[in-house]
Amino acid sequence: MPATVTRPTKSEATAARIIAAARHLFVARTYADVTTDMIARAADVTKGGLYHHFTSKEQLYVTMMLDDLEDKRVLFAQAVASPGTARERLAGLTRDFLELPREERELTRLVRRDVNTFSGEEREQLVRAYQRALPERVQEIIEDGIRDGELAPGDSRILSWSFVALVEVVIGDYADRIYGTTEARLGHVVDLFFDGAATQPAGGTT
Amino acid sequence: MPATVTRPTKSEATAARIIAAARHLFVARTYADVTTDMIARAADVTKGGLYHHFTSKEQLYVTMMLDDLEDKRVLFAQAVASPGTARERLAGLTRDFLELPREERELTRLVRRDVNTFSGEEREQLVRAYQRALPERVQEIIEDGIRDGELAPGDSRILSWSFVALVEVVIGDYADRIYGTTEARLGHVVDLFFDGAATQPAGGTT
DNA sequence: TCACATACCGACCGACCGGTCGGTATGAGA
DNA sequence: TCTCATACCGACCGGTCGGTCGGTATGTGA
């Protein structure tokens, strides 16, 4: 009867509550340290209720992560599609990231942290979803930048991973204690990546 | 009777065997996924024998990590103390790192991965030992570089973490599939950190 | 050779945890 | 109002794993 876009049923609402509780717990503790009981209690259901909606702890975790990474992929794809120089677009992507609520930022690091816990198909799914959400989006911008002569030629895969690594430094707990503003973090990451830390362009390391 | 430097007793040799086995397993699997039984079997002792030398699984892990991080601290301190420009010294430190056997390289990442598993004193110990081994050593060189005008002024703490993050990208599994040589990795990290990825020094991100 | 400490064994314990299952509550359609 | 599906409960199970403990082997000093 309502609008064409279905409103969430009670069942969907419960599942969403469970996922939210799981997300909250998984970012704070290790996968193995979070028990299904903890998740159920935090979501105000019993373990039986939890297993009514999810077939296993692994499946719950993977579902939660895939949902979130798909949201991120969409978010970052917008930054990729926006106009401007590579520098401006990477700054935009980074700003989108930095302006996410803290928990959503931290979620990104879960894959890197927990990926060893899984194996086979689940592991592949998680890795692929992560790559699709972040490094591959960054890589697109970097390849445009190289093509336009804005960035020096180089392996765009490693460059994008490097950029992502810099971003993840600046979203971490440690940086939280140092940076006051999003602008400061943003400027730091983008400036360092584009211009480097040296005062003069020297070169010839080895 | 032997030289003044004592030769390892049988007991010390067993403890070392256990630590080596633990190291090997902990780098490959998560802390929680490695059982004391696995470690004992890999070290060719029983669980009882393991608990004769270590009081708990946690203590074994922490001992192993602290030992290793202290070795690394000494190694990197040499790079800090060596002569040359900041660029040369950071390149030297990175080369020392990259030339370590694979398992020793990966060990560095364990703290970041497993630190959430512990709490209280153990957690503090691990974090401090890691900082002392790597980021603080890098920070020393960076501060010299800023003082000498070789590096642009900036927060040396964040700069050192950024450099370490770049190094860790380049020692990871992903980079293993891309880079052929240590020289290529080394050049990439140091050049990116000092000179940036842009062709021309632009600026003004925000 | 006796005494004692230290190294090590391996069966066992108890707690915990993922997952199940028989059952109840709720609500919608006939 | 009867029926049936779906949502959910909570006691329970099977297995695992960190840790223990009584015992044996080994070697060393007296």
Question: DSSP characters for A76-133?
Answer: HHHHHHS-S-HHHHHHHHHHHHHTS-HHHHHHHHHHHHHGGG--HHHHHHHHHHHHHH
How confident is the model over B61-94, as pLDDT tens digits? 999 999 999 999 999 999 999 999 999 999 999 9
- pLDDT over 60 at A15, yes or no: yes
Residue of B nearest to A34 (CA): B117
Q: Chain B contacts of A150, Cβ < 8 Å?
A: 198-199
Q: Are A197 and B91 an interchain contact pair (Cβ–Cβ within 8 Å)?
A: no
Q: Helix crossing, A135-147 with A57-81: angle to 10°?
A: 20
Q: How confident is the model at residue A2 (pLDDT cuts 50, 70, 90)?
A: very low
Q: Chain B: nearest CA to A155, how far in angstroms?
A: 9
Residue of A nearest to B127 (CA): A174
The CA radius of gyration of chain A, in Å to the nearest whole number, is 20
Distance of CA A39 to the CA centre of its chain: 22
3-state secondary structure of A199: coil
The region that residue A173 occupies, defined by phi over 0 for left and psi between -120 and 50 for alpha, beta otherwise, is alpha
Task: Tokens 């939210």: give the residue.
Answer: A20
Q: Chain A: nearest CA to B49, how far in angstroms?
A: 26
To the nearest whole number, what is the mean pLDDT of chain A?
A: 91
Rounded Cα distance between A25 and A57, Å, is: 13
- pLDDT over 70 at A1, yes or no: no
- pLDDT over 60 at A158, yes or no: yes
B195: nearest CB among A165, A169, A198: A198
How confident is the model over B89-132, as pLDDT tens digits? 999 999 999 999 999 999 999 998 899 899 889 999 999 999 99
3-state secondary structure of A180: coil
The residue ranking higher by pLDDT, A1 or B201, is B201
The full set of domains in chain A, from first to last, is 9-54 (1.10.10.60), 57-195 (1.10.357.10)
Q: Are A205 and B193 an interchain contact pair (Cβ–Cβ within 8 Å)?
A: no
How confident is the model over A23-37, as pLDDT tens digits? 999 999 999 999 999
Rounded Cα distance between B165 and A172, Å, is: 12
The region that residue A44 occupies, defined by phi over 0 for left and psi between -120 and 50 for alpha, beta otherwise, is left
Rounded Cα distance between B122 and A199, Å, is: 40
| Å between CA of A18 and C1' of C28 | 25
Q: Is B16 exposed, middle or buried (0-12, 13-18, 19+ CB in 10 A)?
A: middle
Chain A span 94-133 residues with beta carbon within 7 Å of strand D: none
Cβ within 8 Å of residue B49, ≥6 positions away: B14, B40
Answer yes or no: are the C-beta atoms of B21 and B66 closer than 8 Å: no
Task: Tokens 């005008």: give the residue.
Answer: B149
pLDDT confidence of residue B205: 47
Look up residue B92 and give its DSSP letter: H
Strand C neighbours (CB under 7 Å) are: A 32, 34-37, 47-48, 51, 55-58; B 9-11, 14, 44-49, 51-53
How confident is the model over A18-75, as pLDDT tens digits? 999 999 999 999 999 999 999 999 999 999 999 999 999 999 999 999 999 999 999 9
Q: Chain B: nearest CA to A203, how far in angstroms?
A: 7
Answer yes or no: are the C-beta atoms of B155 and A180 closer than 8 Å: no
pLDDT confidence of residue B7: 55
Q: Which of residues 165-184 of B touch A (CB under 8 A)?
A: 165-166, 168-170, 174-175, 178-179, 183
